[in-house]
Amino acid sequence: MTEQDFIPKSYDNSIESGSVKWSSPSNIALVKYWGKKKNQIPENPSISFTLSNCKTITEVTFNKKESDGFSFDVFFEGEKNEAFKPKIQTFFERVEAYVPFLKDYHFKIETSNTFPHSSGIASSASGMSALALCLMGIETMLTDTIAPSNSTALSINSVEKSQFNQKASFLARLGSGSACRSIEGELVVWGENTSFTNSSDLYGVKFEGEINSKFKDFQDTILLVDKGEKQVSSTVGHQLMFDHPFAKERFDQAHTNLEKLKEALISGDLISFIEIVESEALTLHAMMMTSMPYFILMKPNTLEIINKIWNFRKKTASHVCFTLDAGANVHVLYPASEKEMILGFIKNELAEYCENGHYICDQIGLGANQIQE
Ligand code: PMV
């Protein structure tokens, strides 16, 4: 597939107005995407667990208009929101060639998250994927051979679901790179690499191969160490990889780690899984500490938690491990079979390092859903 293949030939249907609604989850990278080329093309491949509970729910209502240009209003959690508009404007500019109906309608975009707004959890993956799915929903209404209705009850059965998902992922990538890994579950790979023959720089693909049952319902408890705005936006963060002294080694390492992680996920080798995942998290942060300008995004409590996890693992031989985003919060990952023990550990020993004792319990999920009303 090339970018050109995502440009539609024409639309069969003419629709005056309608609405679509999608719910799309966040994801947590195991091998991290950090560094990009032009047009949101990743410098290295990545893989993530799709989450289940941390989601964005977006409804897009559209009405035909005559005027030129993009026209949209954004409502976040019921209130008109101007702050999100520039990002959506940029997204519309990037995807217009692939969804050319964008200038034909005025859009009312109503969005909300299932996780607290100020939690330090990035909402760009779930937010951009939900919006991309709504645009795909509208495109389906415009191309569907079944007479379109202007209600949300559109049918996507008549288009190949995999084509729908692929293009949704392609569009989401243009909003926020990691968003392309939020359309499907349970594990999604993004970025060309030799271990996954169907992998692409343009969109995420489902993990190829049978995932070992040890990873079924894998748990992710997100410890909210710092609920504030991110110190370094991912846009700035990706730029830090230009001319980074260790960039080439890092990009090569991601390929090797992905290869090794694939084997661990298939064989159920939790020890290797832990080693790769924790090393990836620390490498991401090491890249930020060794860039110019340099940043330390962990907080003292992030380190306290990491040390507690390491001690607990040694003491109990459990398979708990951690990963980090580009911030201070800690994702605690563990098998469902150890849930009771680890939740006890989190409550008794880790919650005190979280802002107001807050943490969010999540687990591996199956991907986005259309909401029919
Ligand atoms: O999708 P972006 O541009 O916000 O970048 C996300 C980068 C990380 O979350 C740090 C890693 C990843 O692969 O998700």
Residue 156, pLDDT score: 54
For residue 223, the surrounding DSSP H or E stretch is: strand 219-223
pLDDT digits (tens, 9 = 90+) for 157-170: 544 799 999 999 99
Cα-to-centroid distance, 141 and ligand 1 (Å): 31
| Same domain, yes or no: 316 and 174 | no
| Same domain, yes or no: 241 and 194 | no
Q: Which of 33, 190, 220, 331 to mutate to test the pocket of ligand 1 (most atoms within 8 A of CB)?
A: 33
Cα-to-centroid distance, 177 and ligand 1 (Å): 7
Whether 152 has a pLDDT exceeding 90, the answer reads: no
Cα-to-centroid distance, 233 and ligand 1 (Å): 10
* Distance (Å, whole) CA 324 – CA 216: 21
User: Does residue 289 lie in a domain region?
Assistant: yes
| Same domain, yes or no: 179 and 240 | no
* Distance (Å, whole) CA 75 – CA 362: 26
| Percent of the chain at pLDDT exceeding 70 | 95
Q: Do residues 174 and 210 lie in contact, with contact meaning Cβ atoms separated by under 8 Å?
A: no
Confidence of residue 145 (pLDDT cuts 50, 70, 90): low
Residue 117, pLDDT score: 75
Cα-to-centroid distance, 241 and ligand 1 (Å): 13
CATH no. for residue 107? 3.30.230.10
Query: If you take atom 4 of ligand 1, which residue's CA is the nearest one?
Result: 234
pLDDT digits (tens, 9 = 90+) for 66-99: 999 999 999 999 999 999 999 999 999 999 999 9
* Distance (Å, whole) CA 157 – CA 102: 23
Q: Which of 178, 233, 261 to mutate to test the pocket of ligand 1 (most atoms within 8 A of CB)?
A: 178
Whether 112 has a pLDDT exceeding 80, the answer reads: yes
Question: Which atom of ligand 1 is found nearest the CA of 325?
Answer: 10
Direct distance between the N- and C-terminal alpha carbons of the chain, in angstroms, rounded to an integer:
34
Q: Do residues 103 and 93 lie in contact, with contact meaning Cβ atoms separated by under 8 Å?
A: no
Q: How far is CA 302 from CA 35, 44, 163, 235, 329, in A?
A: 24, 26, 41, 23, 7
| Same domain, yes or no: 8 and 130 | yes
Question: Which atom of ligand 1 is found nearest the CA of 46?
Answer: 13
| Same domain, yes or no: 76 and 41 | yes
Q: Do residues 184 and 367 lie in contact, with contact meaning Cβ atoms separated by under 8 Å?
A: yes
Residue 147, pLDDT score: 47
Whether 155 has a pLDDT exceeding 60, the answer reads: no
User: Does residue 205 lie in a domain region?
Assistant: no
| Same domain, yes or no: 224 and 342 | yes
Residue 151, pLDDT score: 46
Question: Which atom of ligand 1 is found nearest the CA of 122?
Answer: 4
Strand partners, 79: 76
User: Does residue 206 lie in a domain region?
Assistant: no
Cα-to-centroid distance, 234 and ligand 1 (Å): 6
Whose tokens are 């807050």? That residue is 358
| Same domain, yes or no: 186 and 239 | no
Q: Do residues 254 and 45 lie in contact, with contact meaning Cβ atoms separated by under 8 Å?
A: yes
Tokens of 36: 């990009």
Mean pLDDT in residue range 160-184: 96
In terms of DSSP H, where are the helices of the chain? 85-95, 124-143, 161-175, 234-239, 247-267, 270-289, 300-316, 339-345
Whether 322 has a pLDDT exceeding 70, the answer reads: yes
pLDDT digits (tens, 9 = 90+) for 261-306: 999 999 999 999 999 999 999 999 999 999 999 999 999 999 999 9
Residue 121, pLDDT score: 79
Residue 158, pLDDT score: 42
Query: Number of folded domains in the chain?
Result: 2
Whether 154 has a pLDDT exceeding 90, the answer reads: no
| Same domain, yes or no: 228 and 290 | yes
The range of the structural domain enclosing residue 103 comes to 3-198+366-370
Task: Give, to the nearest 10 degrees, the angle between helix 247-267 and helix 270-289.
Answer: 160
Q: Which of 32, 231, 329 to mutate to test the pocket of ligand 1 (most atoms within 8 A of CB)?
A: 32
Question: Which atom of ligand 1 is found nearest the CA of 28?
Answer: 14
The neighbour count for residue 65, using CB atoms within 10 Å, is 13
| Same domain, yes or no: 283 and 159 | no
Mean pLDDT in residue range 305-322: 98
pLDDT digits (tens, 9 = 90+) for 19-29: 999 999 999 99
Q: What angle do CA 234, 178, 33 make, to 5 degrees?
A: 70
Confidence of residue 4 (pLDDT cuts 50, 70, 90): very high
Tokens of 70: 């993009």
| Same domain, yes or no: 129 and 258 | no
Residue 163, pLDDT score: 94
Q: Do residues 358 and 119 lie in contact, with contact meaning Cβ atoms separated by under 8 Å?
A: yes
User: Does residue 277 lie in a domain region?
Assistant: yes
CB within 8 Å of 61: residues ≥ 6 apart: 17, 18, 19, 107, 108, 110
User: Does residue 211 lie in a domain region?
Assistant: no
| Same domain, yes or no: 7 and 78 | yes
Query: If you take atom 9 of ligand 1, which residue's CA is the nearest one?
Result: 325
Q: What is the mean pLDDT of the chain?
A: 94
Residues touching ligand 1 (Cβ under 6 Å) are 29, 32-34, 46, 124, 176-178, 234, 284, 325-326
CATH no. for residue 305? 3.30.70.890
Residue 2, pLDDT score: 95
